[in-house]
Amino acid sequence: MENLIRRKKGWRIIAGILVGWLFLQMIYITIDGLWGYSGSADMAVVLGNRVYADGSLSPVLQGRVDRALELYRQSRIARIMVSGGKGNENGDIHNPEGTAMKDYLVAHGVPANRIIEDNDGWDTYLTAKDFLLVADSLHVHSVIVVSSFYHITRSKYIIRKLGFRNVHGAASQTYHWNDLVGLPRDAVAFYKYLIVY
């Protein structure tokens, strides 16, 4: 009985440490994501999110693309890479995220030859790999990652881990209720990237 009590107490301590660590990491991710880079770079990479069946961007994705558009209009970047998956609704491929983002940027005055479209960025790791190929071919030496604030830390980390060092972040300036889900999810997902890739 005494051993059982001791074991339960040990598990409670471990659980408390893990919850405390996760909380501290979420604070770090929030600060890192919201502490926007104020300099310039060769390119911005916008990470994808949902595109509706009519081809319009979800509010989360529009916030990300609008942030990249702002950087471009401020002459802080020369090119924008838009990266996401091909989209899937009810099993049908439609409206690839990269294409939808590019169309939005062109409609808002960005020349098409300033935009690199990537529809194979199904997740952050694949976007990072695709970016490295683009960076090599276009001689890109610095990049600003554009995403939701909670996604910046993990995105910068995987690009650096793949060998590209000069990485900065600029978060979307729109916030949504699902950020409350995204923040703890990304805090946990960071360790997948730390261990697996």
What would the pLDDT profile of 35-70 be if each residue is shown by its tens digit?
A: 988 999 999 999 999 999 889 999 999 999 999 999
Read out DSSP for 93-131? Answer: E-S-HHHHHHHHHHHTT--GGGEEEES---SHHHHHHHH
Instruction: Flag whether pLDDT at 92 surpasses 50.
Output: no
Instruction: Flag whether pLDDT at 134 surpasses 50.
Output: yes
pLDDT over 70, % of the chain: 93
* Euclidean distance between CA atoms 97 and 11, whole angstroms: 44
Rounded mean pLDDT, 112-133: 96
Structural domain boundaries in the chain = 2-196
Instruction: Flag whether pLDDT at 90 surpasses 60.
Output: no
pTM, two decimals, is 0.89
Rounded mean pLDDT, 4-12: 73
CATH 3.30.1380.10 applies to domain 2-196 = no
**pLDDT score of 18:** 83
**pLDDT score of 69:** 98
Rounded mean pLDDT, 23-46: 93
